[in-house]
Structure 1
Amino acid sequence: MPSLTLREAQRSDFPALAEILSLTQPDWPTGAEDLQRQDDTRDPAHFALRVVAEQAGQIVGVGHVGHDDFAFEPWRYWSALDVHPDFQRQGVGTALYSELKRHLQERGAREVRTMLSSKPQDAAGRAFLERRGWRVGWERFESQLDTRDTDLSTFDGLLTGVAEQGVRLMSLAELAADPDRDRRLHELDWLLFQDVPSGLTPTKKSLDQWVKDELADPQLRPELSFVAVGDGPSDPLTGSYVGYSTIGKSRGEHYYIGMTGVLRSHRGRGLAKALKVAAMRELQAQGGGVIKTFNDTPNRAMLTMNEALGFQRTATMYRYELELS
C-alpha cells in the first residue's frame, strides 16, 4: 500500500473533508462551506486543529481536536476522527489517533471527549475507543417526530391557555425588529443552559460570539424558532422574553431542536410545550418534516414532554471520555 502522510488541513482540503464526513455521518451531511464557517467564527482564544491523512495524493481520513467552547477549561478538549469507508481497517484511524494524542499531550491536556451514537455506523468507532481506554461518561437520547403524521389539533387547548396567561408566542423572524432581541436572547440562553442537566458546567460566551454561533448560523430557521413573550414587568436582562425554542435545518432531510427552555419563574405553565407546538405547526404549514431532538438522560421533564408530543426514541448518544496523564 502507498505510504500514509499526515499533515495539517488546509482550506483547499475542505471539499474532500466534507465528502468524508458526509459518508461517515450520513445523518448529518457536511458541506465545505460548513467547515469554512467553523474556522471563520471560532473564538480565536480556543485551540483547534485538523489533521488529514493522505495516501497517493488522496485524502482518506481527518481528525479534529479543539477546546470545548461550551464548557471551556484550558485542559479539556473535544475530538473527532473520520476515515473514508473505502480506507477503514487499514491503519489510517490508528495513525490519526496517535497524531492527535501527541498534540494533546504536548499541550498538557488532561481530558479529551467525543460523542458517538448507538447506531450501526458508529459500532466500529466505539470499539476503537474502548480498546484504547475510553469510557462512557454520559448518555443522551435522540428522538424524532414527523409532523406529517402528527395531529396537532389536540394541542389547541394548550395554546389557548398560554394566550389567556398573556403570553405571546412570536418567531425570531417576527422579533427581528426588536433592537434588543439578540441581547435579551443571549442572556435568556445563558440562564436556561445553567439549568440543563448536561453533566457540564457551561461557559458564558460573549454576545458577539453567541450571535455568530447561534443566531447567525445559516441552518437556523427563524420562522420556526419561537420566543415566549410575557406581559409582566420587564427584566433588565431578558426584557419580556421568558422562554424560547429554536429549530434548525440540517443538510439532510430533517430538522432539529436546539435549545428549549423557560425561566424558572414561568415553569409549570405549559410554555415549553407550547413553544414546540408552535414550531411544529409552522413546519406543518410549510409541508411538514421530521424533527430530531436530543435530551440528556437525567432531564426527565423534557423527555416526558417530548413523549407527550409524540417523539419516539431512535438512538442513544454516548459521550466518551479519556483521562490523559
Structure 2
Amino acid sequence: MTVLVRALRPDVPADAEGFARVRRLALPYILFTPESVRHTAAHTQPEARFRPLVAVEDGEVIGTAQVHLVPDSREPGQACLNVYVRPDRTRRGAGRLLVAAAEEYLASLGATKLFAWALDEPANRAFAERRGYRVGRSAHFLRLGLANGTLPPLTPVPAGVELRTAADFADDPRPLFELDAETLCDEPGDVGYEFTDYDAWTEETWKHPLLNRELTTAACVDGRPVAFTVARTDGDGRYSTAMTGTARAYRGRGLAKLAKVHSLHRARAAGLTEAFTGNDVGNDPMIAINRWLGYEVCATEVRYVRELG
C-alpha cells in the first residue's frame, strides 16, 4: 500500500484517535489521548506555527510528527520535529516521508536549527544520522508501579510550609505560572527558554485536558507556591509528571520531593496503577529524588540536532 503524509485533521475522530494510538504504541511513557491531541492542535500559541502531521496507509494512521518553531527560545530560528511510527508499521517509508515534509515546512518558516528526539535504539539512531542529524544530550524515561506498595512513606510537612493542590488556585493560577516559568528557565536542555506569556500558558497548560488539578501539588510559604509537581492523568490508570521544580530561593530544602511524594500517595489512593516521569541525564537533583521515590529507568531517548544552511 502507498503511504501518504498530510496534515492532521484534529476534529476528525479517526485522525485524533490514530495519532494518540501511534504515540501510545511507539512512546508509551508519555500520555496521549484524542482529547489531548485536539487540545494541543487548537491551543499551541500561534507563533509556534504548529503543524501536526500524519502518515496514512490504507486509511490508517501509522505515523505522526509534531512540528513547530520554538517561539519562547532565547535564540531565533530554532524548531522541533518529533517523528514516531507504529512499531508494527515500520520500514514502509512513513518516517522518511514525515521527516521530509517536516523539514520542508520548517525551512519555509526560516528555521535554521532543528531538534528531534529519538529513542536510543540502533535503528532509530541510524535513521537520524543518515539524515544529517548529530547526536546531542540524552534523557531517561522512568516508571514507578503504584499498585505494588513500594512508595516511601509520606514525609512530614515542615513548619511554615503548606501543601496545596492546583485546584486551590482555580480562581487565580498566576502564582503557579510564575513558578513554572522560573523553574522551566533553569531546566537542563538544548533550548534556552524565556517563558513570559501568561495567556499562552493558561490555554496550553492550565486548560490541558490531562492536567489533574487535584493531584498537582505545591509546597507553599506564606500562601505562595515555591515548589511543585505537575500531574497529568489519562483516565486509564496512568499518571505522568509534566514538571517538578523549586523556586531558586527555596532550593535545597526537599520541598519538590515533599510535593511529589504526597502527590504520588494520593494518586495511588485514587486507584492509579503506574507513574511515568522523565529526566535529563544531567539533572542530578531530580534523578536523586526519583530514585528515592522508587522510579526505574524504562527507556532512554537521544536529542539530535541539524543545522539548516
Q: Would the alpha carbon gap of residues 274 and 91 (structure 1) be closer, same or farther in structure 2, given more than 3 Å must change?
A: closer
**Structure 2: runs of 5 or more not aligned:** none
SS of structure 1 residue aligned to 2:205 = helix
User: Which residue number in structure 2 is paired with residue 214 of structure 1?
Assistant: 205
Q: Would the alpha carbon gap of residues 32 and 261 (structure 1) be closer, same or farther in structure 2, given more than 3 Å must change?
A: closer
User: Which residue number in structure 2 is paired with residue 111 of structure 1?
Assistant: 113
User: Which residue number in structure 2 is paired with residue 234 of structure 1?
Assistant: none
User: Which residue number in structure 2 is paired with residue 35 of structure 1?
Assistant: 37
Work out the CA distance in 2 between the residues paired with 1:211 and 1:323.
32
| Residues 1:275 and 2:259 aligned together | yes
* Residue type of the alignment partner of 1:272: A
User: Which residue number in structure 2 is paired with residue 173 of structure 1?
Assistant: 167
Alignment of 1:1-325 (within 5 A): 2=2, 5-11=4-10, 13=12, 15-16=14-15, 18-23=17-22, 25-26=24-25, 27=28, 28=30, 30-54=32-56, 60-69=62-71, 71=73, 73-83=75-85, 87-118=89-120, 124-152=123-151, 154-155=153-154, 158-159=155-156, 162-163=157-158, 165-176=159-170, 179-180=171-172, 182-231=173-222, 240-250=224-234, 253-325=237-309
Work out the CA distance in 2 between the residues paired with 1:245 and 1:59.
33
Q: Which moved more, 1:196-205 or 1:291-300?
A: 196-205
Contact in 2 for aligned 1:19/1:30 (Cα 8 Å)? no
* Residue type of the alignment partner of 1:279: S
Higher CA-based Rg: 1
**Structure 1: runs of 5 or more not aligned:** 232-238
Instruction: Supply the RMSD in Å over aligned alpha carbons.
Output: 2.7
Contact in 2 for aligned 1:21/1:82 (Cα 8 Å)? no
* Residue type of the alignment partner of 2:167: A
The number of equivalent residue pairs is 306
Contact in 2 for aligned 1:62/1:96 (Cα 8 Å)? yes
Q: CA deviation at 1:307?
A: 1.1
SS of structure 1 residue aligned to 2:210 = coil
Work out the CA distance in 1 between the residues paired with 2:110 and 2:284.
37
Work out the CA distance in 1 between the residues paired with 2:130 and 2:303.
16
Q: TM-score, normalised by structure 1?
A: 0.82
Q: CA deviation at 1:5?
A: 4.6
Q: Would the alpha carbon gap of residues 227 and 136 (structure 1) be closer, same or farther in structure 2, given more than 3 Å must change?
A: same
Contact in 2 for aligned 1:17/1:62 (Cα 8 Å)? no
Deviation string for 1:6-61 (max 9, x for gaps)? 44443455523532552354214644433321122121122122444455666554
Q: Would the alpha carbon gap of residues 123 and 68 (structure 1) be closer, same or farther in structure 2, given more than 3 Å must change?
A: farther
